[in-house]
Structure 1
Amino acid sequence: MHTPALLRLRPAGAADNEDVAVEMPVALTVNGISQAVMLATPADLEDFALGFGIAEGWFASRHELLELEVSPQPEGLELAMTVTAACEQRLKQRRRTLAGRTGCGLCGIESLAQLTAVRPGPVTPPLLADDALARAWAALPAAQPLNARCGGLHAAAWCLPDGEMVLAREDIGRHNALDKLCGALARRGEPAQRGFVLTSSRASFELVHKAAMAGIGLLACTSAPSSLAIETARRLGLQLWAFVREGRATRYA
Structure 2
Amino acid sequence: MTDSDLSCSPAAMLGFARVAADGVITTIDRAIAEEVPVAIECNGIAYAVLMATPDAIEDLAYGFLLSERLIDAAMDVRGIDVHRGEPGIVVRLALAKRVAERIGDRVRHRNSDASCGLCGVETLAQALRPLPHAARWDGSDSAIFQAYAALRDHQPINAATGAVHGAAACTRDGMIQMVREDVGRHNAFDKLIGAMMRTGQGWDGGFALLTSRCSYELVEKAVLARCPLLATISAPTRLAVDRAGEAGLALRTLVRADALLAT
| Pick aligned residue for 2:212 from 201, 215, 230 | 201
Instruction: Give 1:151 deviation, angstroms.
Output: 0.1
Q: What is the match of residue 216 of structure 1?
A: 227
Say whether residues 1:11 and 2:21 are aligned partners: no
* Counterpart Cα distance in 2 of 1:61 and 1:225: 28
Instruction: Give 1:24 deviation, angstroms.
Output: 1.0
* Counterpart Cα distance in 2 of 1:167 and 1:83: 26
Say whether residues 1:237 and 2:248 are aligned partners: yes
User: Are 2:169 and 2:208, in contact at CA under 8 Å, matched by a contact in 1?
Assistant: yes
Instruction: Give 1:16 deviation, angstroms.
Output: 2.3
1:67-117 deviation digits (Å, cap 9, x = unpaired): 1111123221111111112222122233345652328xxxxxx94343134
User: Are 1:192 and 1:214, in contact at CA under 8 Å, matched by a contact in 2?
Assistant: no
- Runs of 4+ in structure 1 over 3 Å off: 94-99
SS at match of 1:66: strand
| Pick aligned residue for 1:167 from 178, 183, 199 | 178
Identity of aligned residues (%): 36
SS at match of 2:27: coil
* Counterpart Cα distance in 1 of 2:41 and 2:135: 32
* Counterpart Cα distance in 2 of 1:140 and 1:235: 29
Say whether residues 1:189 and 2:162 are aligned partners: no
SS at match of 1:194: coil
Q: What is the match of residue 80 of structure 2?
A: 68
User: Are 1:125 and 1:193, in contact at CA under 8 Å, matched by a contact in 2?
Assistant: no
User: Are 2:165 and 2:185, in contact at CA under 8 Å, matched by a contact in 1?
Assistant: yes
* Counterpart Cα distance in 2 of 1:99 and 1:79: 21
1:192-247 deviation digits (Å, cap 9, x = unpaired): 35210000111101110111111112100001110000000000000011011121
Q: What is the match of residue 52 of structure 1?
A: 64
The structure having more radius of gyration, on CA atoms, is 2
SS at match of 2:7: coil
Runs of at least 5 residues in structure 2 that lack an aligned partner in the other structure: 1-5, 19-25, 116-121
Q: What is the match of residue 36 of structure 1?
A: 48
> Given the two structures, how large is their TM-score scaled by the length of structure 1?
0.91
SS at match of 2:41: strand
User: Are 2:138 and 2:205, in contact at CA under 8 Å, matched by a contact in 1?
Assistant: no
What do you get for the CA RMSD once the two structures are aligned?
Answer: 1.7
Instruction: Give 1:163 deviation, angstroms.
Output: 0.7
1:21-75 deviation digits (Å, cap 9, x = unpaired): 0011111000111111111000011100000001110102110111111112322
Aligned residues: 245
Say whether residues 1:153 and 2:157 are aligned partners: no
Instruction: Give 1:166 deviation, angstroms.
Output: 0.7
Runs of at least 5 residues in structure 1 that lack an aligned partner in the other structure: 104-109
2:9 partner amino acid? P
SS at match of 1:241: strand
Aligned runs of 1:121-140 on 2, under 5 Å? Answer: 121-140=132-151
SS at match of 1:128: coil
User: Are 2:229 and 2:251, in contact at CA under 8 Å, matched by a contact in 1?
Assistant: yes
Instruction: Give 1:140 deviation, angstroms.
Output: 0.5
Instruction: Give 1:176 deviation, angstroms.
Output: 0.4
* Counterpart Cα distance in 2 of 1:225 and 1:125: 20
> Given the two structures, how large is their TM-score scaled by the length of structure 2?
0.88
User: Are 1:101 and 1:111, in contact at CA under 8 Å, matched by a contact in 2?
Assistant: no
